[in-house]
Every structure is written in structure tokens, then in C-alpha cells.
Structure 1
Amino acid sequence: MGMVGQLNHRGLAELAKVYGGLCHLKVGQVHMVAVSTADMARQVLQAQDNIFSNRPATIAISYLTYDRADMAFAHYGPFWRQMRKICVTKVFSRKRAESWASVREEISSLIKTIDSKVGSPVNIGEIVLGLTKNITYRAAFGSMSQEGQGEFVKIMQEFSKLFGAFNIGDFIPWLGWIHGQEFHKRLARARGSLDGFIDKIIDDHINKKNNKNCKDDDFVEVEDDMVDELMEFYDENGAKDDQKSSISITRDNIKALIMDVMFGGIETVASAIEWAMAELMRDAPSPPSDPPPPPRDGPDTVVDGYKIPAKARVMINAWAIGRDESAWTEPNTFKPSRFLDNGAPDFKGSNFEFIPFGSGRRSCPGMQLGLYGMELAVAHLCHSFNWELPNGMKPNEVDMNDLFGLTAPRAVQLVAIPSHRLNFPLF
């Protein structure tokens, strides 16, 4: 228990220097295996992807995802394949133009906001988090529910805290009573808040669809959003008499999938944009932080000659892998030009030295949309403005520490002063 403080991406990387790229620990009754090199990651994510295709869920995750009704934590099988198919074909598809249009329009709005603050300090971390919130919220709920954004963000912030909270019952079940009662009250309050919020939105979308079908005189055409897409898929399944199609989408599935999209689309993209801007402003930068991907578990197996116990939580430490000296030259130097070299690894999941989106069955289905938002935002910020650090701060004085969490965000948000870079007006 004295090592709990080390069970993060940095602490596990230090342990890997002593014990190697495959490190087994036992926390209470839970076996944990940290993977810290590309070769070990390849064996887990490619050679034995079928073995490690499931993800363990804590007490909090199981409860808040409606008993794994989502895609991220559903066990691998027919249900999970159906959930992923929905995300790939309905939510993140390039054919769904509204999601991609929302990225362009919200970034244009961001640039206008920064343009009005030229010459004054701008909290980049705060504004890009607002950007990704707007994009994701709009893609999920459309324009018909914008007035509830503040409430929903608070609900998601509480979910994030509960997902990452240490609960001794997850590791030593018979000690779960120590703070279990209050913890379960928080879980119930959080899920109750989400139920009330999204139930109203689902009802609004049902009414919208009914009005569209009836073609009432007062009906105003509104663009479809993610909830519309999910409701349509649910209707299609529900109307089938084919017994072979046993999976249907319930309200709980819709709520859990929306939660996946919110967590995957807000903090991760915002954090990546802020880290990129911070690195570009430094003289002697180091790469941004990536937390371990969610852990996987499976039956007894052998990896590189070592037995992995059944149900062990196998964590792929992307942070350590990206700094592995055996895989990278000058791993602690921010050097984007390295990716211009012939044979440089890409991030699509086949080169295990660089896996920000994971690999194998559980790789991120929203990779293309996330990349589009991040790249377009950074390009606009750098093309439209010059940026200076405030109060005479030198580039090497920028705080580059991170906080452990779902996205390893910056410990101190980046603040900089924009000035016009172009000789003609932006708007």
C-alpha cells in the first residue's frame, strides 16, 4: 500500500527501469501488470489481443456505465461489436457531416474570441477546453439543448472524479465498508443527475421525431445529432422480428454511449492541443504526457515467458513506451521532425512505439474526428497569431508538470499573449 503513490505513468516507468518492460505488482487482492516497452505492448495488443480484449471495471465504473452498457467497458463479444459498429458508422463517420462541420465552425468562433483579446493574456487551457466542450456537446445533442451545457459539464466533472477516485473496496473487498457508504451515495447522486438530464433530452428527441413524422404545421426542421442517430438505430433493431438479432439499444445504452463520447472527446483533445501549444513555446521541450490506456484483463496466459494470472489488470503505459530509449533517439526531446524520417512510426496502431489511440480491438473509434479537431485548432492558433509568454517569462520557465488522471492534463494551465501574425484582418 505504500507504493500506491507510484501507480501512475511516471512511477510505473521508474519501476520499469529496475524490473523491465513487464512488471507484476499485487495491490490488495488485485494482480496488476505494467507494460512499458513497445515489444511487450505488441505481444499484449497484437499477438494476444483476443486474450486481453476485455477491460476490468471498478465499482464506480460498473455503476456509472449502467453495468457496462457502453462501448468502452463492455466485454468483448456480440454486444460490444454492435456498440462499436454504431460508433463507427453513426457517430464518428465522415458521412455524418454535422460532426465535422461543428469542428470548423467552433474553431472559427474561437479565433474570433481570441482576436478580440489581442494584446492581453489568454488562458489557452481554458479556451481550448471550452472549444472541445462546445464541439462535443453540439455533436451529441445538437442545437436544441444548448441551454443545459453548464449543468451537463458539472455532471461529467463529478463522473470524472468518481472514475479516478481510489476506493479500497476495489482492491480489498472486505474493507469496502471503510468509506463505501458515502462513496455509494456519491455514485447514486451522480448517476441520478445524468438520468434526469439525458432522459429529458431523449424525450425531446422522441417528440422531435414524432413531429417530423406527423409533419405538424409548427414543425421546424433541425439537423440530426448523435442522439437522433442512436434513436434511429434503436428503432431499427426494435422493429425487427428476426430472432438472430438479439441486441437492442436501450436508454441506458444511449446514456452510456453519450458518456463515452463526452469523456473521449472533451478532455483528451483539449489536453493534446494545450500540450502542443506549450511545447511550441519552449526552448528545450519534452514530449507531452499520455496516461496508461484503460487496463485489460483475461484468462491465465504467458507473455514473453512470464505467466500472467487470470483477471490481472494489464496496463499499457503509453507514457513510458514513448520515452523508451531502446525505441527512440533523444526520447525526452520534443522533436516533431523525427516523424518526417523514412520509416518513422505512425499512430494508427501498427507501430507500438507510438500508440496514443491504442491498438487492436479496443483502439479508439473516434481517432479521425479527434485528430481533425486537434490539428485544425493548432493550425489556426499558430497561423492566425504570434504568441508570447506573459510577465517576461522565459520559454524554459514554462511549468511542464502534469496531473495524473484520465488524460494526464497539465498541472498549470498555459497562459500566453496573442498578437496579430497576418497583415490583413482575420474577419
Structure 2
Amino acid sequence: MMSQLNHRGLAELAKIYGGLFYLKMGQVHMVAVSTAEMAQQVLQAQDSVFSNRPATIAISYLTYDRADMAFAHYGPFWRQMRKICVTKVFSRKRDRSWASVREEIDSFVKNISVRVGSPVNIGEMLLGLTKNITYRAAFGSMSQEGQKEFLKIMQEFSKLFGAFNVADFVPWLGWINGQDFNTRLAKARGALDRFIDSIIDDHMEKKNKKNNKNNGEREVDDDDDMVDELMEFYGENGAKSSEPISITRDNIKALIMDVMFGGTETVASAIEWAIAELMKNWEELKKVQQELANVVGLDRRVEESDLDKLTYLKCVVKETLRLHPPIPLLLHETATDAVINGYKIPCKARVMINAWAIGRDGNAWAEPNEFKPSRFLENGAPDFRGSNFEFIPFGSGRRSCPGMQLGLYALELTVAHLCYTFNWEFPNGMKPNVAIPTHRLNNSTVYLN
């Protein structure tokens, strides 16, 4: 019916039916939200009612019956899981996660440097970068053998998450998918169990050795990875956690899966869109490079301390997130019956907040489809931290993205390095929308494929 990508199709329907309209998909009630005014009703005015998450049969099974944070319904359990993520997994005090970003970007830039003058598939390389960052932060290891195995598992999970299953909409037609689908689900979760169980066992052995060495007192290690942090809350089978919150192996596995999915394709996609937009808009690229030259100079690399001074680079990132939000459809579910704008929304309705359509709404943005980073230099320009509902790439309210700061850090630092270290051209004589300038920041030229 929508004949194109879901967020684009829903945006076209919104032009006909408005910023709030209803769809019936089998037995599932679905509501599409496409304006800032309606989004504010869902994400702020009635946040508690709309804070649940919908989950397909596949997602429920592969997340150990919503044992994670991303798909857990709003309530005490979800609050505990989010607290763990905010205070431990994504905390700015957790230096290991942030160090993995810096070190992997350095390695990424070196890999591109050896290919100067040759075409590179930047999208493929960026996905490799973000996977390296999250894998290393999660497991504290860059073992290629283990990484390849885990990535295969994640790829299968991704396919199963996105697979159409008619039973999600018409339960009694579940037989159409056949036994093969259920077999794939069981096989995928079994593979994840074996992989992460062995890692958890290794971490438990390491933890016990440290405790014995220190007479039962935990020693804080700068090399602690995400599993080490989560193990502090582990309290399965009668074991006592050292923290007031207690989680199981399934919780640890589900949380790691959240991080792997939430921190790889989304960040890589945002970086790729930023570079693509700058390639199409050479004047904007020149402004970013000139700012980098002014702030960083030409005799050292970009450092973390430079980011706060790179005002226009941050505008480019914001404009990229406005036009290309990493998750274009933010999915919520009603906990009870609700009323929005005089319309009744039934309990357990799936609410799709179209962040892509909202970011391109002509009533909220001047020239909404144009890439104009300078709009964010204006006084009162919207911010993406959740209080301006015309700009919600990370969501808003209770279910906003807890990893926003770490994701932004990787996004800004990577774009800064790519613009500062290299000059980019299209391969095989391709031309952007405007002429390629003769100005060069340095002598490193890489061709974008």
C-alpha cells in the first residue's frame, strides 16, 4: 500500500490524512504520528501511557522475552535496566568505551591512508569501524576469530528482527511461515547463548581470581569491559550481587545485543549520510575544513578537546540527523486507552512516530528538504536532546536513547577526522551537484565509492 520505505510511505499518507492517522494491520491497531505537535502529546504530555515498546514474535524470543532494555515494557524492571545502562554501560566516566572510539578511529584513518588515490567503499568501512568499537567496548577484545563469529550471529538476528511474520498481525495464520522460521529463531538464539555464555564464564573466572587475590574485595580495573561492568549486577541461581539491582545471564546477553544493534548500523549510517551530504554540497565541506584548519591547524591530528570549538561541524551533524535520523520510525505502544487530539487510541496500539517526516515538515522548517547546516547557527535553533519535538533523532522522554552521548562522540570525531585528514572526490569521473573546488586542505585525496 505504501509502495516505498515505511517512513517515506507513511509521510506521503500523512500529507493526505494529517499528522495523526490510524491503520488496521490484521489484528494490530497502528497509529502514525508525523508532526511535532502530535509527537509532543505522545512523548511528553502522555509519556507514561505511551512508554511501552511493541515487539514481534521474533524480537520477544530473541531478547529472552524482553529481558533487555530496548524492548522491555515501562516499569520497575525497565527502570533498573536503564539505570544500569546510564550509570555503567554508557557513562562518560567509563573511559574504556570512549577510548575504544578514539583508538578505533585512529586505526580506521590509517586504513584509509594506505588507499589514498583509490576508490574506497566508505559505507562498508564505516560499518566495520562502528562494529569494532562496540565489540571492543563490550568484550574488551579484538580477536578477529571471535568477532567474525559474533557478527554472523548479529547478522542473522538482524534478518530475523526484520523478517515479515504474518503471525504478528494475524496469529492464526502463523502456520504460513512454517517450521523453518521457528527453527531459525531457535538456532540463532542457541548460537548467541553458546558465544556469550563462554565469555561470561571467562569473566566470572577472572573475577573470582581477582577477588581471591584481594581477599574478596573487588579491584577496579581500567581494562574492565562491558561484561565486567554487568557482572557486578549478576545474581542468578541464588548468587548475591554486590549491587542492589540483580540481573541474570539472559539480561546480560540481551543488554549486549541492545548495544551491538544500537551502536553499529545507526552510527555508521549517520556518518555515511554526513559525508554524502558534504560531498554533494562542496561549499559546506569547505566551511568545515576551514574551521578545522583554524581550530586544529595543520600540524597535528584532531583531538577530543577540539570538538567543542568546532561549531560548524556540529551544525553539519545536526543537519544530517534532521534529514537522516538513524532510526526514522520510533516505535511505542500504549499501556492503556488514551485520547490524542480528541481521538481514542486503544490499549496496546502500536504508535509509529515518524522522526523522518517530522524533521522535514515544512510547517516547522524553512526549506525542509535542503541541506543547510547554517540554520542551526540561528538564535533559538532547535536542539536534539528531546525538548524540541520538531527535531527528535534520538527520541524523547522516558524512552529516549541512553547511548546518545557516546554515539554523538563517535559521529562527530569520525566526521572531523575524515574531513580534516583527507580530501574527497567521486570516482570514475562522477560529479557532485556543483563543481569540485581546486582548494585543498592537504595533499591526501581519497575517492568516495
Q: Report the alpha carbon displacement of residue 214 of structure 1 after superposing the two structures with TM.
A: 3.2
Mapped contact 2:50–2:335 kept (Cα < 8 A): yes
Which residue number in structure 2 is paired with residue 288 of structure 1?
A: 324
Which residue number in structure 1 is paired with residue 71 of structure 2?
A: 73
Which residue number in structure 2 is paired with residue 266 of structure 1?
A: 264
Mapped contact 2:51–2:332 kept (Cα < 8 A): no
Residue 385 of structure 1 aligns with an amino acid whose one-letter code is F
Match of 1:143 among 118, 141, 144: 141
Whole-angstrom distance in 2 between the partners of 1:77 and 1:353? 27
Whole-angstrom distance in 1 between the partners of 2:231 and 2:440? 45
Residue 249 of structure 2 aligns with an amino acid whose one-letter code is R
1:145–1:77 CA distance, 2 compared to 1 (3 A): farther
What are the superposed Cα offsets for residues 378-397 of structure 1, whole Å, 9 maximum, x if unpaired?
Answer: 00000011000001111149
What are the superposed Cα offsets for residues 320-368 of structure 1, whole Å, 9 maximum, x if unpaired?
Answer: 1011110000000011111111000010000011111100000000000
Which residue number in structure 2 is paired with residue 8 of structure 1?
A: 6
Matches within 5 A, 1:34-113: 34-113=32-111
Whole-angstrom distance in 2 between the partners of 1:7 and 1:129? 21
Whole-angstrom distance in 2 between the partners of 1:241 and 1:365? 24
1:304–1:196 CA distance, 2 compared to 1 (3 A): same
Which residue number in structure 1 is paired with residue 415 of structure 2?
A: 378
What are the superposed Cα offsets for residues 178-223 of structure 1, whole Å, 9 maximum, x if unpaired?
Answer: 114211111111101101110111111111112222349xxxx881
Whole-angstrom distance in 2 between the partners of 1:106 and 1:34? 39
Whole-angstrom distance in 2 between the partners of 1:388 and 1:382? 12
Mapped contact 2:132–2:142 kept (Cα < 8 A): no
Mapped contact 1:138–1:146 kept (Cα < 8 A): no
Runs of 4+ displaced beyond 6 Å: none
Q: Report the alpha carbon displacement of residue 240 of structure 1 after superposing the two structures with TM.
A: 6.3
Mapped contact 1:92–1:365 kept (Cα < 8 A): yes
Which residue number in structure 2 is paired with residue 239 of structure 1?
A: 240
1:183–1:205 CA distance, 2 compared to 1 (3 A): same
In structure 1, stretches of 5+ residues that fail to align are 398-418
Which residue number in structure 2 is paired with residue 411 of structure 1?
A: none
1:7–1:49 CA distance, 2 compared to 1 (3 A): farther
Which residue number in structure 1 is paired with residue 29 of structure 2?
A: 31
Q: Report the alpha carbon displacement of residue 6 of structure 1 after superposing the two structures with TM.
A: 5.4
Which residue number in structure 2 is paired with residue 279 of structure 1?
A: 277
Residue 226 of structure 1 aligns with an amino acid whose one-letter code is M
TM-score by length of structure 1 reads: 0.88
Matches within 5 A, 1:145-224: 147-215=145-213, 223-224=223-224
Which residue number in structure 1 is paired with residue 295 of structure 2?
A: none
Whole-angstrom distance in 1 between the partners of 2:81 and 2:127? 27
Residue 112 of structure 2 aligns with an amino acid whose one-letter code is I
Percent identity, aligned pairs only? 77
Q: Report the alpha carbon displacement of residue 293 of structure 1 after superposing the two structures with TM.
A: 1.4
Which residue number in structure 1 is paired with residue 302 of structure 2?
A: none
Whole-angstrom distance in 2 between the partners of 1:420 and 1:118? 14
1:241–1:115 CA distance, 2 compared to 1 (3 A): closer
Match of 2:20 among 19, 22, 43: 22
Mapped contact 1:45–1:52 kept (Cα < 8 A): yes
Q: Report the alpha carbon displacement of residue 146 of structure 1 after superposing the two structures with TM.
A: 5.2
SS in 2 for 1:203: helix
Which residue number in structure 2 is paired with residue 367 of structure 1?
A: 404
Which residue number in structure 2 is paired with residue 306 of structure 1?
A: 343
Whole-angstrom distance in 2 between the partners of 1:57 and 1:129? 26
What are the superposed Cα offsets for residues 370-415 of structure 1, whole Å, 9 maximum, x if unpaired?
Answer: 0000000000000011000001111149xxxxxxxxxxxxxxxxxx
Match of 2:361 among 307, 311, 324: 324
Residue 23 of structure 1 aligns with an amino acid whose one-letter code is F
Whole-angstrom distance in 2 between the partners of 1:205 and 1:343? 49
Which residue number in structure 2 is paired with residue 225 of structure 1?
A: 225
Residue 131 of structure 2 aligns with an amino acid whose one-letter code is K
1:230–1:392 CA distance, 2 compared to 1 (3 A): same
1:180–1:312 CA distance, 2 compared to 1 (3 A): farther
Which residue number in structure 1 is paired with residue 389 of structure 2?
A: 352
Of 373-382 and 306-315, more deviation after overlay is shown by 306-315
Whole-angstrom distance in 2 between the partners of 1:205 and 1:340? 48
1:235–1:144 CA distance, 2 compared to 1 (3 A): farther
Whole-angstrom distance in 1 between the partners of 2:169 and 2:2? 11
Mapped contact 2:382–2:388 kept (Cα < 8 A): yes
SS in 2 for 1:24: strand
In structure 2, stretches of 5+ residues that fail to align are 215-220, 285-319, 445-449
What are the superposed Cα offsets for residues 272-311 of structure 1, whole Å, 9 maximum, x if unpaired?
Answer: 0001000000049993355201232321110011111111
Whole-angstrom distance in 2 between the partners of 1:180 and 1:297? 30
Q: Report the alpha carbon displacement of residue 145 of structure 1 after superposing the two structures with TM.
A: 5.1
Mapped contact 1:118–1:420 kept (Cα < 8 A): no
**Does 1:315 pair with 2:335?**
no
SS in 2 for 1:57: coil
Aligned residues between the structures: 394
Whole-angstrom distance in 2 between the partners of 1:118 and 1:128? 16
Match of 2:442 among 402, 422, 425: 422
Which residue number in structure 2 is paired with residue 400 of structure 1?
A: none
Mapped contact 2:386–2:397 kept (Cα < 8 A): yes
Whole-angstrom distance in 1 between the partners of 2:146 and 2:242? 38
SS in 2 for 1:233: coil
Residue 125 of structure 2 aligns with an amino acid whose one-letter code is I
SS in 1 for 2:256: helix
Residue 442 of structure 2 aligns with an amino acid whose one-letter code is L
Aligned-residue CA RMSD in angstroms? 2.4
Residue 298 of structure 1 aligns with an amino acid whose one-letter code is A
